[in-house]
């Protein structure tokens, strides 16, 4: 699809601030979970021109802070959208712009579903991943990727007496799609359920999504939706790509994400964000 007029035509439009929204895994970072120097420099140049940035991820907040530090965002005006939008914080911490907890009454039901179907189940406390069952390889991966400790907790339901913004279930990719459907049917409108990776099923409070969180960020920044470019690669990015002024799928994105996008960039291992910034923020 062609770029909307505000990106290319007219002096007034070029002077308007735009918001770049980046998923982290598979978008901001390469396959080694690193921000490359060309990507970092392109982001810094975009910020120098006066545009704004938000990081939007299914990760817990502590798992995003490493990238906030690497990009030196603590003194910038922008936001960390974590837990798929269940918690939104300004760069450099401070008072949350928004937060919504998963209803505690759902935890026994999620625990029962995971146990019945042999899924992993975790939530998050400070800098630890709390695992309801002996950790499988996917649970270990999420703890490692977020640089958080991993704590198996046999009395999961008794232990979790703190605010929960997201639970994560894990399953083999060949089973996860079917289990996601089953869980959606069981919970109905009592929770938001969708996959991020083929093996992760994410459960948040009803109504939570990256797109919903970005509506709140746009209002706080006084930026129109048409001036927002969202980049992602995972299933949980589809909504925000459709909501954005321009939705960008990375070259490594799932096919469903590419189908929802207005533009497909090079992959995260080919510095696709450098291409995006050059095209839409020049």
* Three-state secondary structure string covering the chain: CCCCHHHCCCHHHHHCCCEEEECHHHHHCCCCCCCCHHHHHHHHHHHHCCCEEEEECCCCHHHCHHHHHHCCCCCCCEEEEEHHHCEEEECCCCCCCEECCCCHHHHHHHHHHHHHHCCEEEEEECCEEEECCCCCHHHHHHHHHCCCEEEECCCHHHHCCCCCCCEEEECCHHHHHHHHHHHHHHHHHHCEEEECCCCEEEEECCCCCHHHHHHHHHHHHCCCHHHEEEEECCHHHHHHHHHCCEEEECCCCCHHHHHHCCEECCCHHHCHHHHHHHHHCC
Cα separation, 259 vs 254, in Å, equals 9
Positions in the chain whose pLDDT score sits under 70? 1-15
Cα separation, 248 vs 27, in Å, equals 10
Q: Where in the chain is the domain with CATH 3.40.50.1000?
A: 5-100+209-280
Cα separation, 264 vs 153, in Å, equals 42
Architecture of domain 104-204: 2-Layer Sandwich (3.30)
pLDDT, residue 9, reads: 42
Query: How buried is 31 (Cβ within 10 angstroms: 0-12 exposed, 13-18 middle, 19+ buried)?
Result: exposed
pLDDT, residue 2, reads: 35
Contact 179, 172 (CB under 8 A): no
Full-model pTM? 0.90
- Domain 5-100+209-280 sits in which CATH superfamily? HAD superfamily/HAD-like (3.40.50.1000)
Cα separation, 117 vs 242, in Å, equals 32
Query: How buried is 227 (Cβ within 10 angstroms: 0-12 exposed, 13-18 middle, 19+ buried)?
Result: buried
Could you give the count of Cα atoms lying within 13 Å of 90 in the half-sphere of its Cβ? 10
Q: Where in the chain is the domain with CATH 3.30.1240.10?
A: 104-204
pLDDT, residue 7, reads: 41
pLDDT, residue 16, reads: 85
pLDDT, residue 15, reads: 52
pLDDT, residue 72, reads: 96
What integer best gives the mean pLDDT of the chain? 94
pLDDT, residue 11, reads: 43
């Amino acid at each position: 699809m062609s770029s909307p007029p505000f990106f290319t035509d007219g002096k007034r439009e070029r002077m308007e601030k735009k918001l770049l929204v980046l998923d982290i895994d598979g978008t901001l970072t390469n396959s080694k979970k690193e921000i490359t120097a060309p990507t970092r420099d392109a982001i810094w140049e975009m910020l120098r021109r006066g545009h704004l940035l938000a990081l939007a991820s299914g990760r817990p907040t502590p798992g995003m802070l490493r990238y906030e530090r690497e990009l030196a965002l603590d003194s910038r005006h922008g936001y960390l959208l974590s837990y798929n939008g269940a918690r939104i914080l300004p760069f450099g911490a401070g008072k949350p712009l928004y937060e919504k907890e998963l209803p505690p009454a759902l935890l026994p039901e999620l625990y029962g579903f995971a146990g019945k179907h042999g899924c992993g189940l975790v939530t998050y406390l400070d800098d630890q991943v709390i695992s309801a069952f002996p950790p499988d390889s996917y649970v270990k991966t999420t703890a490692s990727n977020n640089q958080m400790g991993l704590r198996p907790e046999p009395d999961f339901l008794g232990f979790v007496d703190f605010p929960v913004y997201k639970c994560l279930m894990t399953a083999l990719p060949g089973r996860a799609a079917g289990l996601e459907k089953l869980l959606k049917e069981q919970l109905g409108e009592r929770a938001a359920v969708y996959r991020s990776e083929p093996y992760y099923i994410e459960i948040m409070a009803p109504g939570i999504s990256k797109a919903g969180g970005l509506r709140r960020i746009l209002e706080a920044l006084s930026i129109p939706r048409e001036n927002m470019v969202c980049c992602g690669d995972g299933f949980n990015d589809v909504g925000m790509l459709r909501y954005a002024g321009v939705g960008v799928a990375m070259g490594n994105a799932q096919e469903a994400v590419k189908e929802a996008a207005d533009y497909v960039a090079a992959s995260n291992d080919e510095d696709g964000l450098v291409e995006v910034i050059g095209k839409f923020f020049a």
